[in-house]
Amino acid sequence: MFLNNFLNMRISSIFYAILFFLSSISYAQEPVDYVNPFIGTSNYGATFPGPIAPRGMASISPFNVAGPQNLPLEKDSRWLSNPYVHENTFLTGFSQVNLSGVGCPDLGVLLLMPTTGVLETNHLKYGSTYSNEIAKAGYYSTEIDKYNIKAAFTTSKRVGVSKFTFPKGKSNILLNLGLGLTNEQGAMVKIVSSTEIEGMRSVGSFCYNNPEAAYPVYFVAKFSKPAANFGVWKKPATYKGVEAQWMGYNGKTRLMDASTKMVVGDSIGTYFSYNFDKIETVEVKIGVSYVSIENARENLEKETANKTFNDVYKEAYNAWNQLLSKIKVEGGSTNDKTVFYTALYHTLIHPNTLNDFNGEYPEIKTSKIGKTAGTRYTVFSLWDTYRNVHQLMSLVYPQQQFDMVQSMLAMYDENGWLPKWELNSTETFTMVGDPASIVITDTYLKGIKDFDVQKAYKAMLKSADQIADNPVRPGLKDYIEKGYLTTENGGSVSTTQEYNAADYSIALLAKELGKTEDYKRFLNRSISYRKLFDKELKLLRPRLKNGNWYKPFDPLAGANFTENIGFIEGNAWQYAFMVPHDINGLKKLMGGNKSFTNQLQKVFDDNQFDMANEPDIAYPFLFNYVKGEEWRSQKMVAELVKKHFKNTPDGIPGNDDTGTMSAWLVYSMMGIYPISPGEPKYAITKPMFDKITIQLDSKYYKNNELVIEKTVNNNGYISQILINGNKQNSYFINHNDLVNGQILKVILK
Amino acid sequence: MFLNNFLNMRISSIFYAILFFLSSISYAQEPVDYVNPFIGTSNYGATFPGPIAPRGMASISPFNVAGPQNLPLEKDSRWLSNPYVHENTFLTGFSQVNLSGVGCPDLGVLLLMPTTGVLETNHLKYGSTYSNEIAKAGYYSTEIDKYNIKAAFTTSKRVGVSKFTFPKGKSNILLNLGLGLTNEQGAMVKIVSSTEIEGMRSVGSFCYNNPEAAYPVYFVAKFSKPAANFGVWKKPATYKGVEAQWMGYNGKTRLMDASTKMVVGDSIGTYFSYNFDKIETVEVKIGVSYVSIENARENLEKETANKTFNDVYKEAYNAWNQLLSKIKVEGGSTNDKTVFYTALYHTLIHPNTLNDFNGEYPEIKTSKIGKTAGTRYTVFSLWDTYRNVHQLMSLVYPQQQFDMVQSMLAMYDENGWLPKWELNSTETFTMVGDPASIVITDTYLKGIKDFDVQKAYKAMLKSADQIADNPVRPGLKDYIEKGYLTTENGGSVSTTQEYNAADYSIALLAKELGKTEDYKRFLNRSISYRKLFDKELKLLRPRLKNGNWYKPFDPLAGANFTENIGFIEGNAWQYAFMVPHDINGLKKLMGGNKSFTNQLQKVFDDNQFDMANEPDIAYPFLFNYVKGEEWRSQKMVAELVKKHFKNTPDGIPGNDDTGTMSAWLVYSMMGIYPISPGEPKYAITKPMFDKITIQLDSKYYKNNELVIEKTVNNNGYISQILINGNKQNSYFINHNDLVNGQILKVILK
């Protein structure tokens, strides 16, 4: 038996080695081949290494955050927002829907797990260590030590495909609907036949909030081989009354063999068991939907019927390569390319597809099923992504950005408000500010105009002006009357800054649309943060309801996500420069260029700069605002990239924030950065490749491509900037100049 | 406001009074009008007062067994098998599927409850006292004190119809899917629209057993008026981990307003709310199915679409009256007629319909959906009903009995075994013995032969002869080898007696089918109880594995359902005469007629007779076996009827046992009793009406009717028995003689 298994193992190892070799040959050198999905799977990056199609609804992640073996990064012992942590070792399945790079837990459910031998339904007992992980864009595989099972995974947009290679003997494929990333519970399952399961799992309560909005993810699972036997397990709650004396089964797990009836419960699952007389593979396809079981089944059939695992992988591979190839980089090390393309990959996960294959999706708030001809996107972490992700989409993937804006406008139609932090058609209202206005303005001003801008403008004004019952802008009355929120509202300074930024975008759009009065009004509103500038500290500072400064005031308080009056996820230093639309105004407040430069440099010198969170991520580029100091931006950005972004699991500085950190890296390595969200302009720093070619979408841009080049002197600073060979004096470039020029050349010295 | 309500109340009271008066006029004197569904709702009768159509799948019971107000008859504080207890006072809803007269809890779920005012989802808070209960066959109404709501109910076969009359103001109709009679938990619900809900509730674990066989009851609810607003509530389990500190909602009930998504959980429900500016009624129709939601919807539509509450009630009323009119009684008091027709009504509840309108039903064990052209019956409490219920069906409702046998044979096809205690296509294997063989033989020998008797015989032999893996007859090896079960098996004496009775029936059928060898073999097996006869005690007594008597032996032990080695739910006295097929053999063992009579009389004199349980219920008729002592049977039966069966809630001596107690009463009042189950013969005692006319089914019987008459002298004893005017000497009558004669006349003196 041992020999036999050993031989089998050897043969399969050789087989996989050959397969890997072949795939290396055929796929080598393509952008997709540089993607390393392990980047961000440690250091709270919160990405997962398993496969997802671009902006896929389904994704598969190895799930290794349950069980005491995984302490301290164990899901029930702390706030943990990801289904996989690279340094953990105890695997309890493969979740079929997942969020990437978020700071709050949700999804991480529908856990598929192959085992062998006698059926065991307790994940703490059936879990295992694992070895030989391989992760590529659209592909993940590992070997499950305890069972000598090879598990490989790929996905189409709405279907996860798992392929298990079992040794000879009794095997089981468990679908655990109880275990999940969060404390949200409840599932329904019905085995349709020996090759099919349908059901749902309740998810939600993102950020431990808004449990009323918990919602179902529906699924249909199809197995390539009929199970020899199957059933449902259910572990009911333990009954405590006097009748417990007659309930010999009290609290015990029930095995409902051959059950094809609907079963519901908090802790249920299915087992499909096999008796193999040789090594055998079983493929499991799981289609998901947020609308219905029928749609989950249709998604499965339309996307993967008659396709093998390899067919689906090939499609995912090609889809990824096509998107990633929109940016071609030359020069740079393999590691440079790896972190670059992996970052670009991470910006193409969220927002992700919500609609089913047939276009249906659950509307937000209305309880209706909507239908879209395009793509209905979801997972809008806008407080993060308004800063750079959507700017990257507008530049490289404008059709996607158009569909995202369309989705945001549909949310306004359905919910009465533009989204703030939307998740699978629930508005979580996480974080602060009014970021949708910035995203929409930014998109429009970059030339992506084929949406209903009048409706968008109306929606923006509603958020900006409606004082009563405004869930987007709490504290708006104070803001409008005083120019700032007071300490009556948490995060009063940060929120004032966010509203300023949003109002600036509204002003820009008003101007574009010829609404002069609005333009003036919002432009005026956009600089009200100045009332919070403490001249002594040269920092922004909270004010009380009576207008007095909040005191005692510690500008260092609030770092590292500790709660801090006046500031959200940061301290006064991390917010001091977060007025990207009014840096010249801020410079004046601070006493001019020199004082501004000193104060900004101090953030870095005193270790107040936090690369891992959004408020200050544009800081490194702000030296561009001071003539002669631009080299500091170039230096700082290069240092930060080198220090924080690596081809290792801890290669993202913190939560990827649905691609925001990654978008920062992509822009930084290209030597441009959207310095003032809403405003179509970029700061120019030093590109980290010799040549970068961005393929432009002919629907929105007249040129076919944009080239960014540099002279080869990696250690120098920019001495000249040329557009199509014409020297330019500014370290900023407008979007139009960028996309209408063809070559941005940076000469280093 | 108060005046207004008062006026409304007055008007509605008058309205109902008129309605009641009218209905009294039009319906008076019909058999159905004698039914008092309150009989059996106290004293553990376990019947419910709410409406059910004859052999209906759906039924509605007021649910008043939850909450400390109902102690000591509170469902969580004890073994309680019924959703309603007459003396309880605190109502928490109206359950839509219920069992009648059983000793173990199951069903009692889908609790509909109307309330007014601010929404409250905790049944302990929204529950209320109630007044002015009215219960009739197919109808129940009451007034809910706390809310001034009148609630009326009726049913079709698979649909419960509720009609709520609300006062002006805010009203709510709750459908509580958490609360239920048992500890079985789990439900799914989805609000389809402002007038429709669909879902399921998990039920099962009958007798606190076999939880793996828990099964869903599916439902669709339709409301006659669209809700002004609606939603789902869910009370999740309380999370105990460290993350509870972030879960402000931990363990709290969530109100998911306007939710149309699928919600699952142990403690969930829906609320449909209204704002009425005057008194308004809302009708709620709830269709149920054990197959699917689709079938529940079809049941609802096919049975009740476009029908008002009154239409449905009229149909139920007529259906009941048609069946109850099969027996017409003359003479006797109104109370006599009431207890008689109510008993007959109780025999027409179980077995009940399992198949949906389209013929589909869940098969037993196979996990398949079967389809029947006739009726698939369920709830076969055969240990009880083999003694008299099926005999009554064969006589009065032979088509129903035929369908019951067909259902039993279908169960054999599906499950490999004839049923023992079948409940909604789960075999609970409750109680002992092999009663199906007796029922089938009894049916066949009474001339209902249009089923596959060869298959039935084969099935009977399987239960009787297969020693290994025989779930029907545990201990069969001992039984065949030694003639009895030993104390290695619980209830060894009782079970031996049950097997003897079954074997006797098999012998009778073998003889009928010309299988002489089998006839001899089983006839011989049927008297093996004699080996357990202790000549000193003149009682049956357990034997040890080695053949010795079990000692010390207390013949009184085991009364009142206390556990007792050798006997099931009874003591040695209550089982001593339970060999109805071999009373003559028993007489010999006991030392002849006199000794037998003395011993039998002693059971009654020493208060060992238990009217409330099955083993000894034929005892009163056994004096007929001793020439000259028949008067004792007549006396005893009359006394027992008078003592135990009354037109009061406690008017059934104990669990009705799905109509077994009631069938005992029906037969006893008619003056005949099927004395030896399986054998087509009746003992004759004194009819309690002057004239009883049984309408016979022309499909099975050549006469149109059978008349039982007596001379009017209620205090006398039988002096002569005439059939069609011909004097007969025996106090027994064969089934053929009974149904082929036309008049059985009993002359009292």
pLDDT at B20 over 60: no
Q: Do B237 and A186 touch (CB under 8 A)?
A: no
- Please judge whether A256 and B212 are an interchain contact, meaning their C-beta atoms are less than 8 angstroms apart: yes
Reference B126, options B244, B269, B241; nearest CA is B269
Distance (Å) from the alpha carbon of B455 to chain A's nearest alpha carbon: 26
A79/B243 Cβ within 8 A: yes
Q: Of B195, B254, B267, which is closest to residue B229 (Cα–Cα)?
A: B195
Residues of B in contact with A76 (CB under 8 A): 241-243
Cα(B230)–Cα(A89) distance, rounded to whole angstroms?
46
**Closest by alpha carbon to B580, among B442, B470, B400?**
B442
Nearest CB partner across the interface for A202, out of B241, B264, B365: B264
Q: Residues B724-731: what's their mean pLDDT?
A: 93
Average pLDDT, chain B: 94
Q: Which residues, other chains included, contact A645 with Cβ-Cβ below 8 Å and sequence gap of 6+? A: A339, A343, A651, A652, A653, A665
A243: nearest CA partner in chain B:
B78
Question: Does residue A6 register a pLDDT over 80?
Answer: no
Report CB contact under 8 Å: B205, A79.
no
C-alpha span between B216 and B198 (Å, rounded): 13
Cβ-based contacts of B257 with chain A (< 8 Å): 212
CB B635 within 8 A of CB B668: no
- Can you tell me the distance from the alpha carbon of B158 to that of A345, in angstroms, rounded to the nearest whole number? 56
- Amino acid found at A92: T
Tell me the per-residue pLDDT of A84-128, one tens digit each, with 9 for 90 and over. Answer: 999 999 999 999 999 999 999 999 999 999 999 999 999 999 999
User: What is the per-residue pLDDT across A543-571, written as a single tens digit (0 to 9) for each?
Assistant: 999 999 999 899 888 766 677 889 998 99
Q: Where in chain B is the domain with CATH 3.30.2080.10?
A: 325-748
The distance of B258 to chain A (nearest Cα, Å) reads: 7
Strand B187-193 relative to strand B169-176, pairing: unpaired
- What's the rounded Cα separation, in Å, for the pair B545 and B578? 23
Contact yes or no for B243 and A215 at CB 8 A: no
Q: Are strands A743-748 and A705-710 parallel, antiparallel or unpaired?
A: parallel
Rounded alpha-carbon distances, angstroms, from residue A496 to A128, A432, A485, A492, B61: 50, 9, 6, 6, 60
Note whether B78 contacts A242, CB cutoff 8 Å.
yes
Phi and psi torsions of B245, nearest 5°: -65, -25
pLDDT in tens, B158-187: 999 999 999 999 999 999 999 999 999 999
The helices-and-strands tally (H runs, E runs) of chain B is 19, 36
Question: Which one of A183, A233, A365 makes the best mutation probe of the B interface by having the most chain B beta carbons within 10 Å?
Answer: A183
B321 to B34, B54, B140, B316: CA distances (angstroms): 10, 10, 16, 8
pLDDT given at position A26:
45
Alpha carbon of B480: minimum distance to chain A alpha carbons (Å):
32
CB contact under 8 A, A261 and B216: yes
State the Cα–Cα distance between residues A292 and B261, nearest whole angstrom. 9
- State mean pLDDT over A352-364: 98
Q: Distance between CA B118 and CA B174 in Å, rounded? A: 12
Does A79 sit within 8 Å of B246, measured CB to CB? yes
- Selecting from 1.10.150.530, 3.90.550.10, 3.40.50.620, 2.70.98.10, what CATH number does the domain A2-322 have? 2.70.98.10
How far apart are the CA of B274 and the nearest CA of chain A, in angstroms?
19
Task: Please provide the CATH number assigned to the domain covering B325-748.
Answer: 3.30.2080.10
Interface contacts (A, B; CB < 8 Å) = 132
Question: A46 CA to chain B: closest CA distance, Å?
Answer: 18
Q: How far is B237 from chain A (nearest CA, A)?
A: 8
Distance from B264 to chain A by nearest Cα, in Å? 6
Q: Contact B236/A78, CB-based, under 8 Å?
A: no
Tell me, what's the pLDDT at B27? 44
Identity of the residue in B214, B234, B264 whose CB atom sits nearest the CB atom of A188? B264
Q: How confident is the model at residue A476 (pLDDT cuts 50, 70, 90)?
A: very high
CA angle, A144 then A148 then A150, to 5°:
60
pLDDT tens column, A360-382: 999 999 989 999 999 999 999 99
Report pLDDT for A9.
Answer: 44
User: Of the candidates A78, A208, A365, which has its C-beta nearest B247's C-beta?
Assistant: A208
Q: What is the spatial distance between Cα B417 and Cα B455, in angstroms, rounded to a whole number? A: 11
Q: Which residues of B touch A79 (CB under 8 A)?
A: 243, 246
- Distance separating alpha carbons of residues A334 and B105, to the nearest angstrom: 70
**What pLDDT score was predicted for residue B714?**
64
Task: Give the pLDDT mean for B264-280.
Answer: 98
Closest residue in chain A to residue B184, using alpha carbons only: A236
Min Cα distance A459 → chain B (Å) is 24
Residues of chain B with CATH 2.70.98.10: 41-322
Q: Are residues B353 and B52 in contact, defined by beta-carbon separation less than 8 angstroms?
A: no
Would the CB atoms of A263 and B202 count as touching at under 8 Å?
yes
Report the residue of A106, A264, A293 to disrupt the B interface, i.e. the one with the largest count of B CBs within 10 Å: A264
Pick the CATH number of B41-322 from 3.30.230.10, 2.60.120.10, 3.40.190.10, 2.70.98.10: 2.70.98.10
Tokens, residue B162: 């509720």
Q: Residue B11: what pLDDT?
A: 46
Q: Do B265 and A188 touch (CB under 8 A)?
A: no
Q: How far is A152 from chain B (nearest CA, A)?
A: 32
Report the pLDDT averaged over residues B205-224: 95
From B188, B237, B249, residue closest to A188, measured CB to CB: B188
Contacts of B266 in chain A (CB under 8 A): 236-237, 265-266
Among A212, A255, A260, beta carbon nearest to B367: A260
How far is Cα B665 from Cα B611, in angstroms, rounded to an integer? 11
- d(CA B233, CA B658) in angstroms, rounded, equals 35
**Mean pLDDT confidence for A709-720:** 84
In chain A, what percentage of residues exceed pLDDT 70?
A: 96
pLDDT of amino acid A123 = 98
pLDDT digits (tens, 9 = 90+) for B355-381: 999 999 999 999 899 999 999 999 999
Task: Look at residue A3 in the predicted model and tell me its pLDDT.
Answer: 36
Contact state of B76 with A241 under an 8 Å Cβ cutoff = yes
Domain with CATH 2.70.98.10 in chain A: 2-322
Q: Which residue of A has its CA nearest to B249?
A: A211
CB contact under 8 A, B215 and A242: no
Over residues B79-96, the pLDDT tens digits come to 999 999 999 999 999 999
pLDDT at B10 > cutoff 80: no
**pLDDT on residue B713:** 67
What are the structure tokens assigned to A354, written together? 């919500």
pLDDT at B25: 45
Tokens of B659: 């109509």
pLDDT reported for residue B28: 54
Backbone φ and ψ for A131, nearest 5 degrees, come out as: -140, 165
Q: Based on C-alpha coordinates, what's the Rg of chain B?
A: 27
pLDDT over 80 at A672, yes or no: yes
ω into B72 cis (within 30 of 0): yes
Supply A598's token pair. 């000193």
Q: What pLDDT is recorded for position A556?
A: 87
Q: pLDDT band at B2, cuts 50/70/90?
A: very low
Sort out which chain B residues have CB atoms less than 8 A from A255's CB and list them: 212
Q: Contact A157/A356 with Cβ under 8 angstroms?
A: no
pLDDT score, position A741 = 87
The arithmetic mean of pLDDT across residues A444-469, rounded, is 98
Measured between alpha carbons, how far is A295 from A202 in angstroms, rounded to an integer? 17
A43 pLDDT more than 80:
yes
Q: Which two tokens stand for residue A606?
A: 């005193």
Q: What is the pLDDT of residue B319?
A: 98
> Is residue B381 a contact partner of residue B102, using CB atoms and an 8 Å limit?
yes
Kindly determine whether residue A265 and residue B186, on different chains, have CB atoms separated by under 8 Å.
yes
What is the value of ipTM here, to two decimals? 0.92
